[in-house]
Structure 1
Amino acid sequence: MEFGRPVHRPRAWTIALALAAALSGCQSKGSVSEALDPAAIVAPNGQEASTAAGSRAAAGPPQATQSLGTGSTKVAMLLPLSAPGPAGETGRKMLDAAKLAMTDLGNGLLTLTIEDTRGDGAYAKDLAVKAITSGEKVVIGPTELPAAQHIAKLSGTKRPPVLALADNFAGGPGVYAVRLSEADSAAAGAAAIAAKGARKFVLLVAAGADAGAVEKRVANALSIYGATLAVTVPYSVADGGAKAVADMGSLVDAPEAVIVASGDGSPSAILAALKSKGIPGKATSLVGTNRWLEHPMDPLFDGAYIAALDLGETGPIADRFKTTFSYQPDVNVAYAYDMVALTAGIASAVGPDGFSKQVLENPSGFRGSTGLFRFRADGSSERSMPFYRVEKGALKLVAKSTSGF
């Protein structure tokens, strides 16, 4: 996307949306009950209400509702603007990204209403339900994972699409996962190695709620190339994964590749255990994930392959963002900018009632500041990412893209 030319609609959006426009049909205006099943709005047993009470106590003063743009397409954006710590910082960066995207593309097309979720999952859920049932054409956010997961479970025949910004969200029908998840990164990296001929893979995954999603995505990606996930070994971060590496040796003989999905923790401890077994080596490749890159580069990373976002794609908006807001943007800025830009692009090409599944799940995908991506019917996203090898503490490009659409 040529973000540096805000006067014209970017060529990449034009190409992607030309096909989308041909597939789309106008959506009829439904009632509140069609947008969302009223029986599903109230959380059962008051479980989320008790969660809200605890989290709101730690939140800062809430920010007032903000409105950007004067367009006919009504869009809600849910951000943790007053949340404490990193969550609030992320929310405020995303707000600045939305402002830039509206200036570039959206001011005459969208009316963007921005609500402060306070970093509270239950309150974010309530705001999302309100947006879904009050005539918004699209909901961007929330960033809170429990809220995104709750919304994905609700029924409604004519619910507007939700572009969820929660980290490691798997998605659901009509509730699309925007961010690159560890499952997607692991799957793309494994597929790239399988495409080169490797057939027997092992997955070492940090034990937790995300382990199953990582395993499923990796297995599916490998199956396309006739490769197999021979064994998945969840590991405990507490013992550094040493036991999992020892178990791996007894469970599978001579794997051709080992994937390490480390979750929130640093992979260094389990990489040390693997190195003692000669991995990576000539016979066995090592595949990491985007989550590794959240930690300082460790010499133990050397030799590993990683599929990750191309940060060079953010270049066209990065300079203008820094000039406008006086700080360096990060990937959170890119995600928020892309979703506002995507919404403006669809509103321009198809109109306010054009946010159909056919448009959003267009197989050709969309190109934004995070690269080429597309949404699937199950709400997950696919990205065409660069493939890197870690050499001397730096990422060296192996292939410009792990896949094409």
Structure 2
Amino acid sequence: MVCDRKVHHGPRTWAVACALAVALFGCQSGGSVSDALDPAAVAAGAQQPGVAAPGPGQATQTLGTGPARIAMLLPLSAPGSVGENGRKMLDAAKLAMTDLGNPLLTLTVEDTRGDATYSQQLAVKAITSGAKAVIGPTELPAAQHVAKLSGSNRPVVLALADNFAGGPGVYAVCLTEADSAAAGAGAIAAKGGKKFVLLVPAGASADIFEKRVANSLSVYGAALAITIPYTSADSAAKAVADMGSLVDAPDAVIVASGDSNPSPILIALKAKGIPGKSTSVVGTNRWLDHPTSPLFEGAYIATLDQHETGPISDRFKATFNYQADVNVAYAYDMVALTAGIASAAGPNGFNRQVFENPNGFRGSTGLFRFRADGSSERSMPFYRIEKGALKLVAKSTPSF
């Protein structure tokens, strides 16, 4: 169930992509709007006492005239880069609707203003107002709250929050650092690596990292020898010294950096001769948020294939007069996916079995699929950093 990215995107393309899932799993069961959430969950979504209401935002926008009602929650009037990204996602949605969705979807776009509490309220409203699917929110606390809600007939939520782990029926769309680390580690294990060390920022996400990487390695009979959480208060040298005292000659060291620059850890590793002939360094997509340093040289990274955005990048630039980025790609793909399902199965074809089709979907961010726990998996190319640039080591797989 994979579309050929060389084919111009259109309703027929995404209809073919979704038809197999619909044939296998059928359509959504009936149920009233009151079944969408438990009453307690609706109350929990109400604005919290003492929290100031957000300022004026953009008016609700409606795109398309199709029978499938889809809600999209974006931080359109938020300040700074958050609002800029929200507006990019809106332009992506407009392009996807022009390409695919106008006759299939009625897409209602609400401005969350970048306020997590207000975004949470809008999400509950969308869930309980008959939307067949919700695209967004982008605010991590709001996505995490929605993932905790329960309901017998809740529509799926395609969350656009960064570093969101997902939840049942609330899918993490964006590539997370844990997914990048797991894919990179798996690529080394596929070549014979058996013993791995994970250096990860301390915090609630450390356990998620460990599980994702360990699961990826287990496919190849490899394992994590140890996970070493570190904090900004800890010296990089201490974390690396701890590793040296606990593990002898690992095949690879996986370095997650979170929001921080990985350079301090890399300096400490280099002092120990890592990377070297017997030990590789595996980085993550978050490294690429920072200027490439000579310290990155020789490290491996699994990340999104920039060439996958080709089918929409040129048209997006021609339409909106600026370059598409990953935020554009994520938003375009989610609108395209809902349009494809509406074309193949009709407005009642939105259910978790369809979205969790193990064969996945191909869009402008490549091949991806959603798991039952809400996390996502992506087929990504594997790179080695050479002379400050990403050099392809292995192409992404054409199927799962």
Corresponding residue of 2:67? 72
> For the Cα contact (< 8 Å) 1:192–1:402, is it kept in 2?
no
Distance (whole Å) between structure 1 residues aligned to residue 96 and residue 232 of structure 2: 40
Q: Say yes or no: does 1:321 pair with 2:316.
A: yes
CA distance in 2, matches of 1:201, 1:402: 23
CA distance in 1, matches of 2:19, 2:398: 22
5+ residue gaps, structure 1, are none
Q: How does 1:376-391 map to 2 (within 5 A)?
A: 376-391=371-386
Q: Does 1:9 align with 2:16?
A: no
Counterpart of 1:155 in 2: which secondary structure? coil
- 2:357 is matched with which residue? 362
Q: One-letter code of the match for 1:266? A: N
Matches of residues 194-205 of structure 1 in structure 2 within 5 Å?
194-205=189-200
Q: 1:373·1:381 contact (CA, 8 Å) conserved in 2? A: yes
1:209 CA drift (Å) = 2.7
- TM-score, L = length of structure 2: 0.95
* Partner in structure 1 of residue 338 of structure 2: 343
Between the aligned partners of 1:97 and 1:52, the Cα distance in structure 2 is: 32
1:244 match: secondary structure: helix
Equivalent-residue separation in structure 2 for 1:8 and 1:198 (angstroms) = 43
* Structure 2 residue 142 is matched with structure 1 residue 147: yes
Kindly provide the CA deviation profile for residues 13-67 of structure 1, in whole angstroms up to 9, marking residues without a partner as x: 34432211212323233223311111122339x9x726843xx56x6x3000000
**Aligned partners of 1:195 and 1:172: how far apart in 2?**
29
Contact (CA 8 Å) 1:385, 1:403: kept in 2 or not? no
Distance 1:201 1:51, change over 3 A: farther
TM-superposed deviation, 1:352: 0.6
Please give the secondary structure, in 1, of the residue aligned with 2:62. strand
Alpha-carbon displacement from aligned partner over 1:306-351 (angstroms, at most 9, x marks no partner): 0000011001111111111111111000000000000000000111
Note closer, same or farther for the CA distance 1:264–1:82 as it changes in structure 2 (3 Å cut).
same
Structure 2: how far apart are the matches of 1:404 and 1:287? 23
After TM superposition, the structure 1 = structure 2 runs for residues 213-292 of structure 1, keeping only pairs within 5 Å, are 213-292=208-287
TM-aligned CA deviation for residue 135 of structure 1: 0.6
1:9 partner SS: helix
Residue-by-residue CA offset, 1:207-227 (whole Å, 9 max, x unaligned) = 223222111100111111111
Query: Within 5 Å, which residues of 2 pair with 1:31-50?
Result: 31-43=32-44, 49=48
Gaps of 5+ in 2: none
Q: Residue in 2 aligned with 1:18?
A: 19
Identity %: 76
- Equivalent residue letter for 1:49: Q
1:5 is aligned with what amino acid? H
More deviation, 226-235/15-24? 15-24
Conserved 8 A contact 2:66-2:105: yes
Cα separation, 2, equivalents of 1:273 and 1:91? 38
2:367 matched to 1:372?
A: yes
Q: Deviations over 1:49-87 (max 9, x none)?
A: 26843xx56x6x300000000000000000000111111
1:357, CA displacement in angstroms? 1.7
Residues 235 and 243, structure 1, Cα contact 8 Å, conserved in 2? no
Map of 1:286-301 to 2, 5 A cutoff?
286-301=281-296
C-alpha distance 286-119 of structure 1, shift in aligned 2 (>3 A): same
How big is the shift at 1:241? 1.9
Distance 2:51 2:390 in 1: 41
Residues 72-116 of structure 1: per-residue CA shift (max 9 Å, x gap): 000000000011111111100000000000000000000000000
Query: 2-side partners of 1:326 and 1:182: how far apart?
Result: 30
Secondary structure in 2 aligned to 1:163? Answer: strand
In 2, the alpha carbon distance for the partners of 1:121 and 1:70 equals: 29
Does residue 182 (structure 1) correspond to residue 182 (structure 2)? The answer is no
Deviations 1:151-185 (A, max 9, x none): 11111011000000001111111101101000100
Quote the Cα distance in structure 2 between the aligned partners of 1:404 and 1:357: 20
- Alignment partners' CA distance in 1, 2:16 and 2:181: 29
CA distances 1:251-309 after superposition (whole Å, capped 9, x unpaired): 11111100000001111111111111111000101000010011111111110000000
Distance 1:403 1:101 in 2: 23
C-alpha change, 1:16 and 1:121, in structure 2 (3 Å) is same
Q: Secondary structure at the match of 1:363?
A: coil
The letter for the 1-side match of 2:36 is A
Q: Letter of the 1:382 partner, please give it.
A: E
Q: 2:97 aligns with which of 102, 106, 124?
A: 102
Give the Cα separation in 1 of the matches to 2:218 and 2:67. Answer: 45
AA aligned to 1:39 is A
* 8 Å CA contact 1:51, 1:122 repeated in 2: no
Partner of 1:233, secondary structure, is: strand
Distance 1:285 1:51, change over 3 A: farther
In structure 2, how many angstroms separate the alpha carbons of the residues matched to 1:340 and 1:115?
Answer: 15
Report the AA paired with residue 267 of structure 2: A
The Cα of 1:238 is off from its aligned counterpart by 4.1
Aligned to 2:212, the other structure's residue is in SS state helix
Distance in 2, Cα, partners of 1:255 & 1:36: 48
Letter in structure 2 aligned against 1:153: K
Deviations 1:129-157 (A, max 9, x none): 10001110000000011111111111101
